[in-house]
Chains A and B, each alone.
Chain A
């Protein structure tokens, strides 16, 4: 009976706000420019004719294709532009989008495993990530997900995400810990 808990589905009510509606087909990277005005608000203009204020970049496939396929959503969560490859944008636009993506996606990449302790189905991790040292706890094997033979995705008890891009390329100590414990 419950709605899918958590995220709300986008709403498509018409607002009498005078804001441009989303296009039928999303605009392509070559048609748009993205910039900040004022400082914290991301705007998008289409061929310098139309303007969308407060657009939000999201990754269509943040796990499998974290560096490609970016959509820009308007405030109604409707897709207004689709960027296949960030390099298709001009330099300034790309920078803004990269900053915004970095702001939104807080996943940490594990670079070294200091220790893994497994007790009664709960695993205590102590790791070094690209964002610094962190200790966390994982419960249940559904939160330890092998995305491929070497790529490991972890979700801790609070819902924080950690990733090992390719465990075989970590140092020997980390490899051994992962192999014996995961």
Chain B
């Protein structure tokens, strides 16, 4: 029995009397919604005889349908959830509704019921991504992801420090210098005490001289130590962050398209730059400060206890107050720092968006509105920053007051002890100096805490990226495939970007080596998705795709994509010369090869006409070239890459007739001898295709040559007719 959620007693009491003695229960699944849509559980039950929906207290609402009456089962997407629907000969019954949280399990249930209807063996997936943290039971922010509550700050710190391992010698030197520095900082007050108590008391000039010399020596030592240490920490900090940043960027490049679809570029940018910088500032400024202060503070407490433990205890009285106070504010400020970061991200995204869309902004004369949006953003930012700083000031003034309490104690209690001859004057001065050094770091403890928090949450965002599963280029089990014949088969492929909404349904397709296939269908029929799957930008949900009989998932990604060349509707060119752009997929290509490719792509002539020829520098996205020119550069790129499998996505749309002729020629040369999959809205451009495949709502509905399909008078014929009508209208206009 699978997909088996435990049934409560009441449901069992309801269920068992209904069932026949030998009836087998196959699925029991808990929904988080009841029939009225309230957040109350209800249950889907599937046996080998019937499907049922049961509720705790809704006898009237319970539904049961015998399996033999079912003709179809489907998931109907709703807004904020879905509904499992079953159809009988004359009606479609909404069986059970569930929220978005239960979509994946109910999808499997749908498959299970479908298998019952079609009398196929009952086989469903039972492993689903984790949604709840195993340690604390909290909902996870990403399926199968990290639980932020269980990722401890110390764990994070340890992880950052692991990066120090590569620079061990310098790290050890750093710690040693810290020790020297803290001694150099601790000794001067002690010497002051000795000057007062020994040199002054005995009127010993020579002793005074030696003490002052020691003091001066310590100051020089401290000066040298600070310089060396500053140099070291700066180097190590910058080095570690550079390491992390390189790793993040490397990782981002290798993350799957599925991830990039969901991410805002601004957010990513801010993670790669701002977050790593925050980690750095913590490593360079925060951490050394923290270590040095802790060492010094421990030293001070030691010396004070040794000098006069009673007075020391008195001084310690305000400490818990200071720490509690720090914690209270820390909790509140943490929230505001996270919000400030979010605000920043929004800021970045807005600036990026409106600047990259500046043409549209200007064309619609919306500069004012964009400026207004920016101002609003800036104002919110101001409010937030102001509030946060205000909290700090409040915190510090109060902290000052608590500190002052300590000094009052020293003068009151310590002064009394001096009068009672229990404490020397030098020791009192010693206390006074140390107290300043002692409370100082305590004041900053809150600051360090927030530095640390800021750095840790930045680090967490960075590590979250690093921990994400990248595309598996280095899968050890994947097979090498240096040669391919270019035979592609789809075996019952079902796929959706959101598993609940399949874009391709049970697609079977056989593309023979060297064949040119044209994919035809309305937009949204699944043409681009088919191509995305062949490139393995996404993995299929069900079924499989094979290349030369090998499942794509078993082929080394690098090999697979090495065999595929892509020419897109919107050719993407990079900032660089035309030469570099043509050689993008094969940087080692010789210049002769590059020119040959450009010739074959009908690009050679227009390139020569440019003043800088092949060395013409293109701006971002290939600015400086016309649409048709960009197309031809991207065709040249594909020709040079020399793939076995070629993908043409609307390569000839929106160009004039002359350019189109040139492009057609170039494409004809390009596809020769390669397995080609082409998408075009303009059906006439697919005339050369060996076979056309018509997709409709994610299914293959027709397949055959141009002539066959026209003769069939089916879907394709209809599409052609529609387009003819449209072009006639266009001509009249």
Contacts and interface: CB of A to CB of B under 8 A. Distances in A.
A147 interface: no
Contacts of B525: 8, 11
B304 to A, nearest CB: 38
A65 to B, nearest CB: 15
B79 A1 contact: no
B470 interface: no
Contact of A11 (B461, B496, B696): B696
B497 A6 contact: yes
Interface residues of B, number: 65
A138 B338 CA distance: 14
A19 interface: no
B101 interface: yes
B14 to A, nearest CB: 21
Given A1-B528, A158-B103, A180 B148 contact: no
A14 B719 CA distance: 10
Given A11-B522, A137-B139, A40 B94 contact: yes
B100 A159 contact: yes
Given A8-B697, A105-B80, A120 B528 contact: no
Contacts of B40: 132
A102 B37 contact: yes
A101 to B, nearest CB: 10
B138 interface: yes
A39 B524 contact: no
B80 A160 contact: yes
Interface in A50-93: 54, 62
Interface residues of A, number: 53
Nearest to A181: B335
Given A1-B531, A2-B257, A120 B91 contact: no
A141 B649 CA distance: 35
Contacts of B141: 122, 137, 139, 157
A3 B528 contact: yes
Interface centre among B90, B103, B460 (most CB of A within 10 A): B90
A148 B91 CA distance: 42
Contacts of B118: none
Nearest to A133: B39
B345 A141 contact: yes
A119 interface: yes
B81 interface: yes
A6 B91 contact: no
Interface in A109-166: 118-122, 124, 129, 131-137, 139-142, 156-161
B501 interface: yes
Contacts of B524: 3-4, 8-11
Contacts of B649: 1
Given A11-B697, A106-B37, A141 B83 contact: no
B142 A121 contact: no
A132 B101 CA distance: 16
B457 interface: yes
Contacts of A156: 100-101
Nearest to A129: B39
Contact of A38 (B90, B131, B138, B498): B90
11 contacts: A6-B497, A9-B523, A11-B696, A13-B696, A13-B718, A106-B81, A120-B338, A131-B38, A134-B39, A137-B140, A141-B342
Interface of B: 33, 37-40, 78-81, 83, 90-94, 97, 99-101, 103, 131, 138-142, 148-149, 151, 257, 261, 264, 267, 335, 338, 341-342, 345-346, 457, 460-461, 496-498, 501, 503, 522-529, 531-532, 537, 568, 649, 696-698, 715, 718
Give 4 closest A-B pairs by Cβ, nearest first.
Answer: A5-B497, A9-B524, A106-B80, A132-B39
Given A1-B528, A160-B99, 8 more contacts: A2-B261, A3-B503, A3-B526, A6-B501, A11-B696, A105-B79, A122-B141, A181-B335
